[in-house]
C-alpha cells in the first residue's frame, strides 16, 4: 500500500530550544507536528553549539526527534564543509560522512543538515519514495549543489524532477546577507539570471568617472561596497532549472538574521550562535 507523506508544501514546524543551567534545553513547538511517513522540520534546538556540552547536544537531538515522534529513525548527519558533495545512504554510518547533501530511499533513516544562515532544502519524491536533505551556503549554491542532488536522485532512484516536492527553510534573507563584489562576479560568471538574486549587481570592476575628485591616489581607492544576495531565490531558481513544478516548491520567508528570537544566525550572533537542524526521512511500513 502506498505510504502517506507529510506535505512539504506546508511550512515546516519550528522547534526552539535554549541551553539551561538545569536541563539541556527548554523546548516549545510553534506549529503542529503530525505523524507521517516522511518527517520534515527546521528547528532551533541547540543541535550544535560551542557553548553546549556534547551530552547536551545529544540530548537536544533526542528531544528534537521525540517532538517529531521519530525516535525509531536513525539520525544521519554530515560533516558539512560548503561543498557540492552528495552522499547516498542505504544504512546509518558509524561516523558522519563529509558532504553537504544526502539522499536515501531506505526507510527509518532521518537525513539531517545543520544551518545558521545557510539555506536548508528538503526534497521528497513521493512516487519513488526517496528523500534528500541539502545544505546550501553561497559556495554550495555557486556549485549548484541542489541541482547536483536532484541529478544524483535521478541516477540512483530514477526520480523525475516534475514529481519532486521541495521545502526551502529559514535562511538569511536578501535583506541582510551582504557579500563582496567578488562573490557577485563569481555568480555572474555561472548564471545568466544572477542579476535577479542581488539587490544591485556590481562586480567591483565598474569604472568610476569621478575618481579624480576624491582624495585617494590611483591604486589606493577604497574597496567597493558590498552587495546583498538572496540565496533562497537563487536556490529556488535552481530547483526550477532542474525541472520542478513551481507549485511544488515551498519557500519560508523567515530571515535568520531578522528573527534571532526564533532562529539562529551566525552572521548576527557570531560564536554565540547555535545551529538549527532540518530533517527528512521515510517511516518503514507506512
Taking alpha carbons only, the member of 10, 47, 50 closest to residue 32 is 10
Which residue matches cell numbers 546550501?
Answer: 136
pLDDT digit string, tens, across residues 153-173: 999 999 999 999 999 999 999
Question: Where are the CATH 3.60.140.10 domain residues in the chain?
Answer: 13-171+247-282
Strand, helix or coil at 157?
helix
Taking alpha carbons only, the member of 244, 245, 235 closest to residue 170 is 235
Q: Are 117 and 138 in contact (CB under 8 A)?
A: no
CATH pick for 13-171+247-282 out of 3.40.50.300, 3.30.70.20, 3.40.50.2300, 3.60.140.10: 3.60.140.10
- pTM, two decimal places: 0.81
Where residue 40 falls among pLDDT bands split at 50, 70, 90?
very low
Which residue matches cell numbers 561596497?
Answer: 225
Q: What is the pLDDT of residue 252?
A: 93
Mean pLDDT of the region 72-96: 96
pLDDT digit string, tens, across residues 204-245: 665 544 444 455 555 555 566 899 999 999 999 999 999 999
Residues 6+ apart with CB under 8 A from 162: 243, 244, 245
Residue-wise burial string across 132-169, b where 16 or more C-beta atoms lie within 10 A, e elsewhere: bbbbbbbbbbbbbbbbbbbebbbebbebebebbbbbbb
Cα 197 to chain centroid distance, Å, stands at 17
Which residue matches cell numbers 554550495?
Answer: 140
Alpha-carbon separation of residue 31 from 70, 98, 125, 188 (angstroms)? 16, 32, 24, 39
Cα dihedral: 248, 253, 256, 262 (round 10): -100
Amino acid at each position: 500500500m502506498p505510504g502517506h507523506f507529510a506535505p512539504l508544501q506546508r511550512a515546516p514546524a519550528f522547534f526552539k530550544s535554549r541551553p539551561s543551567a538545569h536541563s539541556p534545553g527548554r523546548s516549545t513547538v510553534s506549529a503542529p507536528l503530525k505523524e507521517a511517513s516522511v518527517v520534515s522540520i527546521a528547528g532551533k534546538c541547540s543541535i550544535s553549539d560551542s557553548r553546549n556540552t556534547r551530552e547536551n547536544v545529544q540530548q537536544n537531538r533526542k528531544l528534537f526527534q521525540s517532538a517529531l515522534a521519530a525516535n525509531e529513525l536513525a539520525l544521519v548527519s554530515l560533516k558539512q564543509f560548503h561543498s557540492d558533495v552528495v552522499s547516498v545512504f542505504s544504512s546509518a554510518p558509524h561516523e558522519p560522512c563529509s558532504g553537504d547533501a544526502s539522499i536515501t530511499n531506505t526507510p527509518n533513516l532521518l537525513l539531517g543538515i545543520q544551518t545558521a544562515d545557510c539555506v536548508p532544502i528538503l526534497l521528497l519524491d513521493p512516487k519513488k519514495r526517496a528523500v534528500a536533505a541539502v545544505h546550501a551556503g553561497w559556495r554550495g549554491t555557486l556549485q549548484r549543489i541542489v541541482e547536483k542532488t536532484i541529478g544524483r536522485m535521478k541516477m540512483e532512484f530514477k526520480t523525475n524532477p516534475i514529481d519532486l516536492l521541495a521545502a526551502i527553510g529559514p535562511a538569511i534573507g536578501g535583506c541582510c546577507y551582504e557579500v563582496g563584489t567578488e562573490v557577485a562576479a563569481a555568480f555572474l560568471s555561472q548564471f545568466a539570471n544572477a542579476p535577479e538574486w542581488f539587490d544591485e549587481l556590481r562586480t567591483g570592476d565598474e569604472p568610476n568617472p569621478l575618481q579624480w575628485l576624491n582624495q585617494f591616489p590611483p591604486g589606493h581607492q577604497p574597496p567597493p561596497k558590498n552587495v546583498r544576495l538572496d540565496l533562497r531565490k537563487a536556490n529556488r531558481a535552481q530547483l526550477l532549472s532542474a525541472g520542478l513544478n513551481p507549485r511544488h516548491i515551498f519557500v519560508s520567508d523567515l530571515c535568520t538574521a531578522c528573527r534571532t528570537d526564533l532562529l539562529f544566525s551566525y552572521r548576527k550572533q557570531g560564536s554565540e550562535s547555535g545551529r538549527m537542524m532540518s530533517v527528512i526521512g521515510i517511516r518503514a511500513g507506512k
